[in-house]
Amino acid sequence: QVQLVESGGGLVRPGGSLRLSCATSGYISSINVMAMGWYRQAPGKERELVATISRTGATNYSDSVKGRFTTSRENTKNTVYLQMNSLKPEDTAVYYCNLKYYHYTSGTVDAWGQGTLVTVSA
C-alpha cells in the first residue's frame, strides 16, 4: 500500500520558520499522482486545507497562509514540501500530508500521512 512519511514538525517561535517534508513509498509511479497537499487540524477543530500542488505544478493556498507558506514537489520521488515562514500561534496544529492518485481498479485514491505537530509559541 502507498504510505506517506512526514517530518519537520516541532516547536518554533512566532515569526520563525519550519519546513515540512512528506515522502511517499509504495508501488506507484509519478504519472499516477494527481495532486499532493497539506492539511492541518487543531484540537477541537475540523481538518482544513492548507495548500495543494497538482501534477502540473499548479498550487493553491488557503487565505490564512497565503504569502507565508510555500509548497513544492519533487515529482520523481513524489515528495512534497511545505515551507512555513512568519509563523503565527494560530498556525499551531497537526499537519497532515495528502496524496491523491489514480489507481486503475479503484479510481481516485487518497493517502494520508500520520501527521506531525507544529507548535508556534514564544
Please give the pLDDT value at position 116.
Answer: 97
**3-class secondary-structure state, position 114:** coil
Q: What number is the average pLDDT over the span 41-69? A: 95
The share of the chain scoring above pLDDT 90, in percent, equals 70
Q: Are 50 and 20 in contact (CB under 8 A)?
A: no
pLDDT-based confidence at residue 56 (cuts at 50, 70, 90): confident
Neighbours of 95 (CB within 10 A): 23
- R_g of the chain, CA atoms, integer Å: 14
Please give the pLDDT value at position 65.
Answer: 98
21-49: pLDDT as tens digits: 999 887 666 668 888 999 999 989 999 99
Please give the pLDDT value at position 2.
Answer: 83
pLDDT-based confidence at residue 73 (cuts at 50, 70, 90): confident
Q: What is the mean pLDDT of the chain?
A: 92
Neighbours of 27 (CB within 10 A): 7
Grid coordinates given for 104: 486503475
